[in-house]
Amino acid sequence: MRRPFLYIGILLIMIGFLGVRNKGKTAPVLIASADTVISLPAPDSNIQEPRFYSSLEYIKAELLRAAPGTKSVLFNSDGSRLYAMNLEGMSIYEFDRASRKVMREFKFKPTKGTGWDYEEDKPIPSYEEKPVEACLSHDDKILWVSLHNAEGIVPIRIDSLEANRDIPGDQVTKKVTVIYPGSARKDSFNVPLIKTGKTPKIISKTTDNKFLLVSNWHSYTVSVLEIDKDQYPFGKVISTIPVPSIPRGIVVDDKNKRSYVAIMGGATVEVINNDTWKRDTVMNVASNPRHIVLDTSGHLFVSYNKLAKIACVDLATGNTLFSTPTHTQPRTITLSKNQKFLFVTCYGGDTLDVFKINNDSFAKTASIPCKGHPVGVDVFENNDQLEAWVCSYTYGTISVFSFRKKK
């Protein structure tokens, strides 16, 4: 009877040894066939820190089909899934990053509404259910989506479709049908529409998953929502903050309990106090700031749409430390994980510009053609490689630009 226990003990020791060896390493890959790749999760892969690198070498581009008018893209926390908000397609695509395939399509049922012609600057007949931007909360359980013409945002429980419960009452809802490409299976449910303001755009959250901020383009307001994943309809507006003109980009500084709002219709960044949820101070910047991101050292990065440039602003003083030109109409910007590279989609210039961030300047490291008016961008990284996923609004495509990390 001793021998079986001896074998079991040896087996347990070997498993523990392999677990230690694999800790922090990239996931092993099982190749099932020539066109099928199955990724096996590695221990602690979701908290793996990218290896040190000081430069990026552009490798290749891949082109994926999305849907008409893809407006923004967003990775989940471990980079396994990417969500593409298809404004004209009135849908959301969930991509598996490794296979580049659409796993699920969240399709909204269209209802008539009033849209906006940005070139003619006038209202037009349209549909309410047009996804613009998104934010993930509660460990990627809830995808919050702004609907361009519905004057509000919707929460979608993507972790469990059964959790998208529709409680009878006077709550306005939107119907969503989930399509599984290559399968006849379909699911459907209703999600609550939480009214915020006219033409909601960016959604940002506090790290404790207690509050959301939404910029309302045509209302000249920022909505603050208290959110709770266990209490239907999962969020309620607790404050509406007026701003002087069109708001767009928002970032939340949890450390200093402040939020920053880019006033695209002016030349300021409004500062909001996260304790009182009221306007605090104003930072004067250049004209037409669109998108903003924040690093951990107190630097705010801004894209200036009409001026075709980006800038680094010191939060402590409000002073612009340095700036540089980009291609025409820089839109969404995002930082690499080491906060040393800035990725900029240039809508009018049909390019993705990549800049290295030095102590006192930007240095352009790549300028890659990206046809179809690129708008949104998000990045995935592992130890050796970085991928920038860029959506093109006119073509309804997503370009995946791969870079090799170098010391």
Q: Which tens digit of pLDDT belongs to each residue from 65-84? A: 999 999 999 999 999 999 99
- Helix (H) or strand (E) holding 110, with range, is none
| pTM for the whole structure | 0.87
How big is the chain, counted in residues? 407
Pair 71, 131: CB distance under 8 Å: yes
| Residue partners of 298: CB distance under 8 A and separation at least 6 | 314, 315, 316
pLDDT for 55 equals 96
3-class SS at 228?
coil
Structural tokens at position 101: 């395939």
Pair 91, 107: CB distance under 8 Å: yes
Divide the 407 residues of the chain into consecutive groups of 10 and give the mean pLDDT of each group. Answer: 42 39 34 29 42 92 97 98 98 98 98 93 96 98 98 97 90 98 97 98 98 98 97 97 98 97 98 97 98 97 98 96 98 97 98 98 98 98 97 97 96
pLDDT tens-digit profile of 79-92? Answer: 999 999 999 999 99
In whole angstroms, what is the distance from residue 259 CA to residue 250 CA?
7
3-class SS at 18?
helix
pLDDT for 226 equals 98
* Residues 205-228 as b or e (16 or more Cβ within 10 Å = b): bbeebebbbbbbbebbbbbbbebe
- The CATH superfamily assigned to 53-406 is YVTN repeat-like/Quinoprotein amine dehydrogenase (2.130.10.10)
Structural tokens at position 17: 């040894």
Q: What share of the chain in percent tops pLDDT 90?
A: 85
Angle at 316 between CA 314 and CA 318, to 5 degrees: 55
